[in-house]
């Protein structure tokens, strides 16, 4: 499928390309948000996705795709961005999960159970690309770097050999192959081959449901890469993890596609086809009881009806409701217990810490 423009909540499965881009071939700048790309194949590069240039891809589950050459899950040529996505059970000769060439950014992704016949089971990338706030674990090999310097920061990587280089960047953690995910350690791969998958008769919806939260979310808050990431690395406007949980749950972002939340957590914010936008709140943290919301991009009043501002705790309970009074609206949250809250004003969503 050739794309340019924007796609939301797409599911692309069981396609084959005689050259590159089994699921998507992005030959122009494209924005893809939320969906499943699974069981596609390409004889050359990008079994699931081939990204040429300037594409922004987020909240995808890229699963069980194959490429004859490079980038079983996704091949990124230059100046592309992959954010908050799960890349699992893909295979290729090089870069089983991801092959990233020039000046690509891979942020808050989880790369698990991918396979490369040659180099880079998890990811194979060249000089200039960046890997940040990500987890690389349980692949045939983890990271392969070919040529030049690299930029790997705030990543958790399984402690096998990282070929051609070290992982000495800021904030990096080496993981053991312990049970750090809510997946049984000795469970066989969820997917094997495209043929086997089709024969099993499993639908895209079933796969999406199976992978939504259960398999790759950290087991506990004490998991080594929870609350360890770089908040500044998250691009503007990317406020949800791959499963729709708001980032950041605590005050520091987690590594990987999934933000840790406690058992029984209720999603407060869900995306719509139009998408949600970040809300600026200051001061943050709030220490004197008053928070100011920047509503300059919002329609804060229609006729006699003011925009409603709702404050939720992290269990999803509505704690307070206010009405907007202008482009800069102050709300008094002094009555709320100290803690972290989600604030929603129409399509705008933000977080505030009250101390």
What is the secondary structure of 105-132 as a DSSP string? Answer: EEES-EEES-EEEEE-SSEEEETT-EEE
> What pLDDT is stored for residue 220 in this prediction?
65
- Decide which of 165, 185, 211 is a domain's last residue: 211
d(CA 287, CA 248) in angstroms, rounded, equals 20
Residues 27 and 158 grouped into a single domain:
yes
DSSP H or E run through 331 = strand 328-332
Residues 110 and 184 grouped into a single domain:
yes
In a domain, 236, yes or no: no
For every one of its 355 residues, what pLDDT tens digit does the chain have, with 9 covering 90 and above?
555 455 656 778 889 999 999 999 998 999 998 888 988 999 999 999 999 999 999 999 998 899 999 999 999 999 999 999 999 889 999 999 999 998 999 999 999 888 999 999 999 988 778 999 998 988 888 888 887 666 889 998 887 544 444 566 788 888 776 655 554 333 333 333 333 333 344 454 555 454 443 346 665 666 777 888 998 898 877 878 887 777 777 778 889 998 877 765 554 444 343 456 778 888 888 889 999 998 876 666 555 678 889 998 877 788 999 998 888 899 999 999 998 888 988 878 888 888 8
In a domain, 226, yes or no: no
Residues 205 and 281 grouped into a single domain:
no
- Report the DSSP pairing between strands 305-306 and 308-312: unpaired
In a domain, 104, yes or no: yes
In a domain, 240, yes or no: no
Nearest to 16 by CA among 66, 82, 69: 66
> What pLDDT is stored for residue 196 in this prediction?
36
What is the three-class DSSP state of 207?
A: helix
In a domain, 253, yes or no: no
Residues 47 and 151 grouped into a single domain:
yes
- Decide which of 211, 246, 268 is a domain's last residue: 211
CATH number at residue 339: 2.60.40.10
CB atoms within 10 A of CB 156: 28
> What pLDDT is stored for residue 353 in this prediction?
86
CB contact set of 233 (below 8 Å; sequence gap of 6+) = 107, 108, 132, 133, 153, 154, 253
Residues 203 and 281 grouped into a single domain:
no
Residues 207 and 281 grouped into a single domain:
no
Nearest to 114 by CA among 174, 153, 159, 66: 66
Residues 199 and 300 grouped into a single domain:
no
Residues 182 and 304 grouped into a single domain:
no
d(CA 317, CA 243) in angstroms, rounded, equals 19
In a domain, 125, yes or no: yes
Residues 48 and 154 grouped into a single domain:
yes
In a domain, 267, yes or no: no
Nearest to 212 by CA among 186, 241, 191: 241
Q: In 178-323, at which residue ranges do the beta strands (DSSP E only) sit?
A: 277-278, 280-282, 290-294, 301-302, 305-306, 308-312, 318-323
In a domain, 300, yes or no: yes
How many domains does the chain divide into? 2
Residues β-bridged to residue 35: 10, 60
> What pLDDT is stored for residue 26 in this prediction?
93
Residues 39 and 153 grouped into a single domain:
yes
Nearest to 100 by CA among 132, 63, 64: 132
Give the domain range for residue 171: 2-211
- Decide which of 165, 181, 211 is a domain's last residue: 211
> What pLDDT is stored for residue 8 in this prediction?
54
Residues 281 and 203 grouped into a single domain:
no
Contact 138, 89 (CB under 8 A): no
Residues 203 and 284 grouped into a single domain:
no
């Amino acid at each position: 499928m050739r794309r340019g423009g924007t796609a939301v909540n797409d599911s692309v499965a069981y396609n084959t390309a005689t050259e590159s881009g089994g699921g998507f071939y992005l030959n122009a700048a494209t924005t893809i948000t939320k969906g499943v790309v699974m069981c596609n194949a390409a004889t050359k590069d990008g079994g699931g996705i081939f990204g040429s240039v300037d594409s922004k891809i987020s909240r995808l589950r890229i699963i069980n795709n194959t490429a004859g050459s490079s980038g079983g899950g996704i091949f990124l040529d230059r100046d592309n961005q992959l954010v908050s996505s799960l890349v699992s059970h893909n295979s290729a000769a090089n870069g089983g999960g991801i092959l990233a060439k020039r000046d690509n950014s891979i942020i808050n992704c989880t790369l698990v159970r991918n396979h490369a016949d040659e180099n880079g089971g998890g990811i194979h990338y060249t000089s200039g690309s960046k890997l940040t706030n990500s987890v690389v674990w349980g692949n045939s090999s983890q990271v392969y770097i070919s040529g030049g310097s690299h930029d790997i920061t705030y990543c958790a990587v399984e402690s096998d050999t990282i070929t051609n280089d070290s992982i000495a960047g800021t904030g990096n953690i080496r993981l053991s192959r312990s049970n750090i995910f809510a997946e049984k350690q000795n469970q066989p791969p969820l997917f094997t081959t495209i043929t086997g998958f089709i024969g099993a008769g499993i639908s895209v919806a079933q796969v999406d449901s199976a992978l939504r939260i259960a398999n790759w979310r950290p087991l506990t808050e004490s998991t080594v890469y929870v609350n360890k990431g770089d908040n500044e690395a998250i691009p503007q406007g990317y406020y949800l993890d791959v499963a729709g949980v708001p980032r950041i749950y605590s005050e520091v972002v987690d590594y990987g596609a999934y933000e840790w939340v406690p058992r029984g957590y209720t999603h407060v914010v869900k995306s719509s086809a139009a998408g949600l936008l970040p809300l600026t709140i200051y001061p943050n943290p709030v220490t004197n009881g008053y928070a100011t919301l920047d509503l300059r991009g919002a329609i804060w009043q229609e006729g006699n009806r003011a925009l409603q501002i709702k404050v939720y705790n992290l269990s999803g309970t509505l704690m307070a409701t206010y009405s907007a009074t202008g482009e800069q609206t102050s709300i008094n949250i002094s009555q709320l217990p100290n803690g972290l809250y989600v604030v929603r004003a129409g399509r705008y969503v933000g977080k505030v810490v009250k101390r």
